[in-house]
C-alpha cells in the first residue's frame, strides 16, 4: 500500500476529517501541541472550543502538560520577542506586527483560560458529554460509577451454574464450572462483541455454552441497572446510542458540535467501533476532526481495541498524511529496523511499514565498533532434534545477561543531553519480553551476573507469591491445625525451613500457634498495619527477606498486599475471617482473568535505583530507552483452538465465539482469529524494536514449535523470500540471513556470563557538618487524649469518675420506677474500654432510616459482637439497652429530637480530622483558659472549668504541630445548625450514694457537669467544635458561625432511658460562636 502524503506542520491547517499516521518516534504529542498552538494563535478556535482525547489517565496528564507548555512558550516568545528554535513559534513570530500582536493576545487568553479546554480520556469525555446532554442521554443522577465488576460477574456465574448444575461436582454437567466462568467473564468483559458467531443445534453443547454466556451477560446488565452501577463501557455505549437515536440523536450531536469546533484524538489506533461511531456521528463532516495514531502500534486487542476501526476511519477520512521524521532513534537504528521490517505488512495490506528519516544522523552510542547498531544474535542450530524450548529460553536469557555485562564493562559511551559522553549504565538498558515468565528468566540471569534489574509489569499483586503467603498466614490464624500451622511456618513472616520442620515439627507447631494467636488478636483489636508492625518487631521480617534472592521484590509485594488488606479492613470493618475470604477471592479471580489490574493493585516497582528495566512490550508502549534487548521475538506459541474466540467474521463484525470446538463455521472463525493474532504479534515486535534510541539487540533460536510462527522468524523469512506479506509460519532450518550493513548477525556462544563489576565510586573524605539549628521539641502531632494523658490522675472531683473502665455492679439495686428513679437500661451490662468501643461501633453504623429500627439495632449489635465479642454481653441485652438511648429526646439544642429521629443524611458519623496548629510554640492551654474565662457566663454549667486548665500539668502544654481526632457524630438540625456529638459509656459513681450509677438519677445535669470537668471533656468539646468550624468554613456556602454552630451534646448513654427519663444522660452546652472562632485562630498560631 502506498504511503500517505507527508504532513507539513507549517503548511495549511487541516480541515475536515484528517487521519494523521504517526510512526514510532515521529513526535506525535509534539505535533498535537503544535497544532493546538497554531489553531489558537491563528484564530481558528479558542481553547474552550477544543476537544483533545487520548487513551489513559497518564497520557492525558502528559498531553495536558505538553499543550500548556506549548501555549505558554509561544505566548512568552511573541510577547518578549525572544528567539527560539521551535519552528511553529518561529513561524508565528514572523507574522506581520498586527497579526503577531493578535496571536500573542489569543495565546495569552488561552493560557489564562486553559482549564476551560477539554483534554480528557475517552471515558472522561463520554461522561462529560452525557452530563451535558442531560435528559437527552437519559442520565440517572443516582448512578454509581464502578471501575471493576468482577465480584458481580462471579456472583452471577455462581448463581446460574449452581442453579442449573448444582455444585459442579455432579457427574454429567455439560460444561465445567471453570469453563462456564471463563466464557461468561469474556462475554461480559467485551460487551461490543456479538455472541451469535454462528448457528447452533438445539440441545447441543454449543447451544448450552452460548445460552450460558448470553444469560450471564444479560443478568449482569440487569443487576447493574437495578443497583444503578455504571462502568467505563457503559459510558461509551450510552453516548453512542444517544447520538444514534432517531428521535434525539441529531439534537444531541448539534449540542456537541456547538461545544467543540476542533477535535484532536490521540492514539487513535487503540479505538474501538463504538468510539469511532461517536466521533463519526458527532463530528465527521461537521467539524475539524484530526485522528492521530499508528496502526503499526495497534497491540491492545485484548483490551477491546480494534485496529479495523482505525482502518474504517482511514476509508472515511477526507485527508490522510504521515509524519516522516523519527526524532527518537539514531540513523543507524532507523536503518537497521528498516532492514528488518521495512515494507512489511503487519497483519493487513493497509498496515505497512513505510520509511522514515532520522533526525539524529550520528549515533549517540560511541565506542562499540562498526556502524551497525541493530544486532541479531542467533543460537546455533544442530542437525539433531531441536532442544526443548525452555532450554533455549534459558540460553537466550543467559546470553542477554552476558551481553549486558560486556556492554557495561566495555568502552561504550552514550552521548547525554548535555553533549557529554558518559559510560553506559544499567538504567540505560531495557529488556522487552512477551510474558511474565520470560521476564523472570531474564531477571534471574541478570541477578546471577550481579547486574541490578527491576521487573516492571502490569501483573496484579494478588498473582504473586507474597499474596499466597499472606493467604496461608490468615488461613492458619483462622484454623490453627497442623497442616495450616506448618504452611504458615514456611512463610517469610515466620521464616522456618523444611529442614526445621523435619527436625522440630511439634515444637515449631506450638511456637507458630502462639505467635499466630497474638497476631490475630492484634489484627482484630487494632488493624492489619499494627499486626504487620508487630511481626516486624518480633521476627525482623524486612532484614530476613532482603537477605534472600530477589528480596527487595518480595518485600515490596508483601507490603503491597498488607496495604491492600489494611485498606479493605478500614473500608468494610471486617475481621480476620472476612479478610481471609476477601484475599482468597482476589487471588482466585486474578488467576482466572487475563485483564489488567487497576493501578492500585498493579505490582509496585521494588526499587528506583539505577537498574536494567525488564518489562513487557505492552508496558513499554510510549517509552524509550537508549539500549533495548528483544530476546524472545522468536518464541511464540499460537493460541489453542479451545475456548472462546475473539475475531472478526466474514462480514467484518466483531464476534466472540463461545460455542466451542466443532461448532458450525468454527474453523473459519479460528482461521480469522489466528490471522488477527499473528498480525498483532508482528505489531508487538515493531513496537519493541522502535523503543530504542541508540541500540537494538534481537535474539533468534530454533524451536520445533515456537519459532516458525514467531514474528521475528516470519519477518526475516519473508524478507529472504522477497515477500512483504509474512505468512503465518515458515520452516525452521537455518538461521535467517539479513543482507544489510545496518544489522550485525552474531552467534551465541552459550558461555556463562561473567559477573559485572561496576567501577568503584571514589571515596571522598567526610567531615562532620556543624549543626547550627535548634531542635523544635514543642512541635508534635497530638490529640485531646495526648493533651490530657497526664491529667486523669492529677485531680478528681468528689464523684471520682471512671471512664469506660472495667467494672461490675456489686449488687442489684431495687428502686421504685418513678421518673428519675428509673433503672439505667445498662444496669446489667459491664463497663470497660471494650464495652465502650462496642457501643460506639453500633451507634456509628446503625441506619436510623431503617423500616424496623429495633431489628436494625439488633443486627448491628450482632455484627459488632461477632467482630469484637465482649464478655457478659449478648445481642438481645445490648439492643434492649440501646433502644431507650436512641429514643431519648436530646433537649432544646436538638429541637427535642432523639437520635432515632435524625435521618441518616443528617448524621455524619466518625468525622476524622487533622488540623494544622501553629508552627511556633506561642499558644498554650493557659491561653485557652483565658479565652474561656472571658466568654463563659456565671450561670454556665462549665463556668469553673478554666481554673482546671491552669493546673501545672496542663497550663504550659503548647499548641503547635497537628491536632488529630475523630468526632463520634455531627448532627444537622433545621436552620441548618450543626451539633457536635460524643457518646459516653462512663459509670458515674457518687461515694455518698452507693449504687446510684445504676439509676437514671445518677446522670442528671449537675452530675454530668461534674463528670465533664473531672474528665476534661470540655477541652475535647472545644477542640471538636473548632474542627467542625473549620470543616463548615471550607464546605458550607455562606457559612456564619453565629448561625450554623449549634453547640455540643455529650450523651452518657447509661442515663438515657427514653422519653420518661426527663433528659437524663444528655449534657447540652452551647459555647459562644465567637469563642470557637477565637479558639480556631489560637490553634492556628494567631495571637489574640
pLDDT for 585-627, tens place per residue?
A: 888 767 655 455 555 556 555 555 589 999 999 989 889 999 9
Q: Is the pLDDT of residue 107 over 80?
A: yes
- Lowest-confidence region among 355-364, 556-565, 992-1001: 992-1001
Mean pLDDT of 682-691: 97
Q: Is the pLDDT of residue 774 over 80?
A: no
Can you count the helices (H) and strands (E) in the chain?
A: 36, 29
Mean pLDDT of 728-745: 86
982 is catalytic: yes
Cell of 478: 483462622
- Cα 176 off chain centre by: 33
- Lowest-confidence region among 740-744, 755-759, 797-801: 797-801
Of all helices (H) and strands (E), which one includes residue 637?
none
- What pLDDT does residue 608 have? 52
pLDDT 10s digits, 510-567: 888 888 989 998 998 888 999 999 998 888 899 889 888 878 888 988 999 999 898 8
Angle at the Cα of 528 from the Cα atoms of 522 and 531, rounded to 5 degrees? 45
SS (HEC) of 486-499 = HHHHCCCCCCCCHH
How does 162-197 read in b/e, with b if 16+ C-beta sit within 10 Å? eeebeeeeeeebebebebbbbbbbbbbbbbbbebeb
Confidence bin at 706 (pLDDT 50/70/90) = very high
Long-range pairs of 857-865 with CB within 8 A, sequence gap ≥ 24: 857/882, 857/883, 857/886, 864/838, 865/838
Pairing of strands 288-293, 17-22: parallel
Q: Is the pLDDT of residue 652 over 80?
A: yes
Mean pLDDT of 311-325: 95
- What pLDDT does residue 478 have? 86
Instruction: Report the chain's terminal Cα–Cα distance, integer Å.
Output: 80
Q: Residue 1027 in contact with residue 965, Cβ under 8 Å?
A: yes
**Residue 642: partners with Cβ closer than 8 Å, 6 or more residues away:** 660, 661
Q: Residue 807 in contact with residue 829, Cβ under 8 Å?
A: no
Q: Residue 709 in contact with residue 736, Cβ under 8 Å?
A: no
Closest CA to 233 of 288, 304, 313: 304
- Lowest-confidence region among 172-176, 236-240, 370-374, 945-949: 172-176
Q: Residue 126 in contact with residue 278, Cβ under 8 Å?
A: yes
Write the burial class of residue 297 (CB in 10 Å: 0-12 exposed, 13-18 middle, 19+ buried).
buried
**Residue 630: partners with Cβ closer than 8 Å, 6 or more residues away:** 432, 685, 688, 689, 696, 697, 698, 699, 712
- What pLDDT does residue 308 have? 93
Q: How far is CA 769 from CA 410, 481, 763, 766, in A?
A: 38, 57, 17, 9
Measured distance CA(665)–CA(659) in Å, rounded: 10
Mean pLDDT of 1028-1038: 89
- What pLDDT does residue 810 have? 32
Q: Is the pLDDT of residue 868 over 50?
A: yes
Q: Is the pLDDT of residue 803 over 50?
A: no
Residue with cell 455462581: 158
Residues of the chain with pLDDT > 70, as a percent, come to 92
C-beta atoms surrounding 543 within 10 Å: 11
Measured distance CA(800)–CA(996) in Å, rounded: 13
Model confidence, pTM: 0.69
> Taking the alpha carbons of 159, 151, 648, 433 in that order, is the dihedral positive or negative?
negative
Q: Is the pLDDT of residue 678 over 60?
A: yes
Q: Is the pLDDT of residue 172 over 90?
A: no
Q: Is the pLDDT of residue 818 over 50?
A: no
- Lowest-confidence region among 153-162, 442-451, 660-669, 792-801: 792-801
- What pLDDT does residue 598 have? 54
Cell of 334: 532507523
Measured distance CA(259)–CA(176) in Å, rounded: 52
C-beta atoms surrounding 524 within 10 Å: 18
Confidence bin at 782 (pLDDT 50/70/90) = confident
Q: Is the pLDDT of residue 438 over 70?
A: yes
Catalytic residue (choose from 179, 233, 635, 982): 982
- What pLDDT does residue 432 have? 97
How does 673-711 read in b/e, with b if 16+ C-beta sit within 10 Å? bbebbbbbbbbbbbbbbbbbbbbbbbbbbbbeebbbbbb
pLDDT 10s digits, 327-338: 999 999 999 999
- Lowest-confidence region among 171-185, 533-547, 925-939, 951-965: 951-965
- What pLDDT does residue 897 have? 94
Residues of the chain with pLDDT > 90, as a percent, come to 56
Confidence bin at 458 (pLDDT 50/70/90) = low
Sheet with 429-433, strands from edge to edge, namely 453-456, 612-616, 429-433, 625-630, 692-700, 374-378, 743-747
- What pLDDT does residue 67 have? 95
Measured distance CA(1065)–CA(884) in Å, rounded: 11
Q: Residue 918 in contact with residue 959, Cβ under 8 Å?
A: yes
% helix, strand, coil for the chain, step of 5: 50, 15, 40
- What pLDDT does residue 681 have? 95
**Residue 994: partners with Cβ closer than 8 Å, 6 or more residues away:** none
C-beta atoms surrounding 139 within 10 Å: 17
- What pLDDT does residue 819 have? 41
Residue with cell 490468615: 474
DSSP summary character for residue 871: T
- What pLDDT does residue 569 have? 85
How many residues are recorded in the chain? 1088
* CB-facing half-sphere around the CA of 328: CA atoms within 13 A: 27
Of all helices (H) and strands (E), which one includes residue 537?
helix 528-539
Mean pLDDT of 296-316: 91
Confidence bin at 804 (pLDDT 50/70/90) = very low
pLDDT 10s digits, 891-922: 999 999 999 999 988 999 999 888 888 666 56
- In 492-609, at which residue ranges do the beta strands (DSSP E only) sit? none
Q: Is the pLDDT of residue 72 over 50?
A: yes
Measured distance CA(523)–CA(573) in Å, rounded: 11
- What pLDDT does residue 604 have? 54
- What pLDDT does residue 600 have? 54
- What pLDDT does residue 838 have? 93
Q: Residue 319 in contact with residue 7, Cβ under 8 Å?
A: no
Cell of 39: 489553531
Confidence bin at 345 (pLDDT 50/70/90) = very high
Q: Is the pLDDT of residue 820 over 50?
A: no
Angle at the Cα of 158 from the Cα atoms of 152 and 163, rounded to 5 degrees? 130
Angle at the Cα of 394 from the Cα atoms of 393 and 396, rounded to 5 degrees? 65
Q: What is the chain's mean pLDDT, rounded?
A: 87
- What pLDDT does residue 163 have? 86
Confidence bin at 735 (pLDDT 50/70/90) = confident
Amino acid at each position: 500500500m502506498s504511503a500517505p502524503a507527508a504532513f507539513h506542520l507549517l503548511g495549511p491547517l487541516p480541515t475536515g476529517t484528517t487521519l494523521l499516521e504517526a510512526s514510532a518516534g515521529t513526535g506525535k504529542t509534539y505535533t498535537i501541541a503544535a497544532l493546538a498552538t497554531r489553531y489558537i494563535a491563528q484564530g481558528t478556535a479558542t481553547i474552550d472550543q477544543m476537544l483533545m482525547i487520548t487513551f489513559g489517565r497518564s497520557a492525558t496528564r502528559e498531553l495536558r502538560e505538553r499543550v500548556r507548555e506549548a501555549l505558554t512558550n509561544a505566548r512568552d516568545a511573541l510577547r518578549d520577542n525572544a528567539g527560539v528554535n521551535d519552528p511553529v513559534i518561529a513561524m508565528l513570530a514572523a507574522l506581520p506586527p498586527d497579526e503577531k500582536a493578535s496571536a500573542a493576545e489569543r495565546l495569552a487568553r488561552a493560557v489564562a483560560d486553559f482549564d476551560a479546554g477539554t483534554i480528557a480520556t475517552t471515558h472522561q469525555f463520554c461522561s462529560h458529554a452525557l452530563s451535558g446532554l442531560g435528559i437527552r442521554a437519559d442520565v440517572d443522577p443516582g448512578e454509581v460509577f464502578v471501575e471493576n465488576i468482577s465480584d458481580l460477574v462471579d456472583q452471577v456465574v455462581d448463581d446460574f451454574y449452581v442453579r442449573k448444575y448444582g455444585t459442579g461436582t455432579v457427574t454429567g454437567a455439560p460444561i465445567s464450572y471453570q469453563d462456564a466462568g471463563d466464557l461468561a467473564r469474556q462475554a461480559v468483559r467485551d460487551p461490543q462483541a456479538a455472541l451469535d458467531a454462528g448457528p447452533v443445534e438445539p440441545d447441543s453443547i454449543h447451544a448450552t455454552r452460548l445460552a450460558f454466556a448470553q444469560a450471564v451477560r444479560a443478568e449482569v446488565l440487569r443487576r447493574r441497572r437495578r443497583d444503578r452501577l455504571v462502568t467505563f463501557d457503559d459510558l461509551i455505549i450510552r453516548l453512542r446510542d444517544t447520538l444514534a437515536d432517531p428521535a434525539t440523536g441529531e439534537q444531541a450531536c448539534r449540542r456537541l458540535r456547538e461545544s467543540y469546533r476542533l477535535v484532536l484524538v490521540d492514539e487513535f489506533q487503540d479505538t474501538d467501533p463504538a468510539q469511532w461511531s461517536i466521533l463519526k456521528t458527532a463530528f465527521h463532516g461537521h467539524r475539524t476532526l484530526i485522528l492521530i495514531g499508528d496502526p503499526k502500534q495497534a497491540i491492545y486487542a485484548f483490551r477491546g481495541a480494534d485496529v479495523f476501526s482505525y482502518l474504517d476511519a482511514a476509508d472515511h477520512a477526507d485527508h490522510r498524511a504521515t509524519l516522516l521524521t523519527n526524532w527518537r532513534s539514531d540513523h543507524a537504528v532507523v536503518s537497521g529496523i528498516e532492514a528488518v521490517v521495512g515494507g512489511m505488512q503487519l497483519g493487513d495490506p493497509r498496515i505497512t511499514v513505510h520509511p522514515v528519516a532520522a533526525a539524529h544522523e550520528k549515533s549517540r552510542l560511541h565506542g562499540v565498533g562498526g556502524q551497525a547498531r541493530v544486532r541479531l544474535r542467533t543460537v546455533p542450530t544442530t542437525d539433531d532434534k531441536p532442544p526443548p524450548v525452555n532450554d533455549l529460553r534459558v540460553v537466550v536469557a543467559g546470553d542477554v545477561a552476558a551481553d549486558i555485562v560486556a556492554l557495561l564493562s566495555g568502552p561504550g559511551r552514550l552521548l547525554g543531553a548535555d553533549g557529554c559522553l558518559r559510560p553506559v549504565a544499567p538504567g540505560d538498558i531495557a529488556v522487552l519480553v512477551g510474558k511474565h515468565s520470560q521476564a523472570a528468566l531474564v531477571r534471574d540471569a541478570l541477578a546471577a551476573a550481579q547486574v541490578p534489574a527491576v521487573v516492571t509489569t502490569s501483573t496484579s499483586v494478588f498473582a504473586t507469591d507474597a499474596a499466597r503467603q499472606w493467604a496461608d498466614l490468615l488461613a492458619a490464624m483462622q484454623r490453627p491445625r497442623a497442616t495450616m500451622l506448618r504452611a504458615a511456618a514456611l512463610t517469610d513472616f515466620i521464616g522456618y525451613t523444611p529442614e526445621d520442620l523435619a527436625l522440630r515439627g511439634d515444637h515449631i507447631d506450638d511456637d507458630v500457634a502462639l505467635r499466630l494467636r497474638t497476631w490475630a488478636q492484634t489484627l482484630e483489636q487494632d488493624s492489619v498495619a499494627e499486626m504487620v508492625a508487630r511481626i516486624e518487631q518480633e521476627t525482623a521480617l524486612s532484614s530476613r527477606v532482603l537477605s534472600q534472592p530477589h528480596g527487595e521484590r518480595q518485600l515490596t509485594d508483601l507490603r503491597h498486599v498488607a496495604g491492600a488488606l489494611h485498606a479493605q479492613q478500614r473500608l468494610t470493618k471486617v475481621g480476620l475471617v472476612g479478610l481471609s475470604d476477601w484475599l482468597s477471592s482476589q487471588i482466585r479471580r486474578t488467576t482466572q482473568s487475563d485483564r489488567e489490574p487497576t493501578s492500585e493493585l498493579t505490582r509496585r516497582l521494588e526499587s528506583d535505583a539505577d537498574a536494567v528495566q525488564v518489562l513487557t512490550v505492552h508496558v513499554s508502549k510510549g517509552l524509550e530507552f537508549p539500549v533495548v534487548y528483544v530476546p524472545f521475538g522468536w518464541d511464540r506459541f499460537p493460541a489453542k483452538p479451545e475456548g472462546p474466540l475473539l475475531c472478526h467474521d466474514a462480514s467484518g463484525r466483531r464476534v466472540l465465539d463461545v460455542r466451542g470446538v466443532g461448532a458450525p463455521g468454527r474453523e473459519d472463525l479460528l482461521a480469522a482469529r489466528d490471522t488477527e493474532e499473528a498480525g498483532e504479534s508482528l505489531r508487538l515486535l515493531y513496537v519493541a524494536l522502535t523503543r530504542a534510541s541508540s541500540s537494538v539487540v534481537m535474539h533468534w533460536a530454533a524451536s520445533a514449535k515456537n519459532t516458525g510462527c514467531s514474528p521475528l522468524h516470519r519477518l526475516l523469512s519473508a524478507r529472504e523470500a522477497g515477500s512483504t506479506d509474512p505468512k503465518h509460519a515458515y520452516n525452521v532450518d537455518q538461521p535467517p540471513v539479513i543482507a544489510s550493513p545496518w544489522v550485525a548477525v552474531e552467534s551465541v556462544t552459550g558461555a556463562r556470563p561473567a559477573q559485572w563489576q561496576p567501577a568503584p565510586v571514589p571515596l571522598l573524605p567526610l567531615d562532620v557538618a556543624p549543626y547550627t539549628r535548634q531542635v523544635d521539641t514543642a512541635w508534635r502531632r497530638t490529640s485531646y487524649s495526648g493533651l490530657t494523658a497526664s491529667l486523669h490522675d492529677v485531680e478528681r472531683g468528689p464523684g471520682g469518675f471512671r471512664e469506660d473502665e472495667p467494672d461490675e455492679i456489686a449488687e442489684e439495686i431495687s428502686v421504685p420506677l418513678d421518673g428519675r428513679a428509673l433503672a439505667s437500661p445498662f444496669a446489667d451490662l459491664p463497663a470497660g474500654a471494650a464495652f465502650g468501643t462496642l457501643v460506639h461501633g453500633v451507634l456509628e453504623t446503625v441506619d436510623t432510616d431503617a423500616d424496623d429500627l429495633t431489628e436494625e439495632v439488633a443486627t448491628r449489635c450482632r455484627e459488632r459482637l461477632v467482630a469484637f465479642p465482649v464478655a457478659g454481653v449478648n445481642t438481645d441485652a445490648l439492643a434492649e439497652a440501646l433502644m431507650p438511648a436512641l429514643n431519648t429526646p436530646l433537649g432544646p439544642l436538638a429541637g427535642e429530637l432523639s437520635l432515632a429521629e435524625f435521618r441518616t443524611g443528617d448524621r455524619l458519623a466518625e468525622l476524622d480530622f487533622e488540623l494544622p496548629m501553629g508552627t511556633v510554640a506561642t499558644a498554650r492551654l493557659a491561653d485557652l483558659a483565658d479565652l474561656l474565662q472571658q466568654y463563659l457566663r456565671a450561670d454556665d454549667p462549665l463556668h469553673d472549668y478554666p481554673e482546671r486548665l491552669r493546673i501545672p500539668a496542663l497550663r504550659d502544654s503548647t499548641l503547635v504541630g497537628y491536632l488529630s481526632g475523630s468526632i463520634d457524630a455531627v448532627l444537622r438540625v433545621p436552620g441548618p445548625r450543626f451539633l457536635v456529638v460524643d457518646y459516653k459509656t462512663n459509670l458515674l459513681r457518687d461515694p455518698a450514694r452507693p449504687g446510684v450509677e445504676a439509676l437514671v438519677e445518677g446522670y442528671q445535669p449537675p452530675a454530668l457537669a461534674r463528670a465533664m470537668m473531672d474528665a476534661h471533656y470540655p477541652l475535647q468539646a472545644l477542640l471538636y467544635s473548632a474542627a467542625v468550624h473549620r470543616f463548615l468554613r471550607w464546605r458550607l456556602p455562606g457559612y456564619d458561625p453565629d448561625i450554623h454552630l449549634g453547640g455540643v451534646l455529650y450523651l452518657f448513654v447509661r442515663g438515657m432511658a427514653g422519653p420518661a427519663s426527663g433528659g437524663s444522660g444528655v449534657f447540652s452546652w452551647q459555647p459562644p460562636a465567637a469563642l470557637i472562632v477565637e479558639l480556631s485562630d489560637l490553634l492556628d498560631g494567631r495571637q489574640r
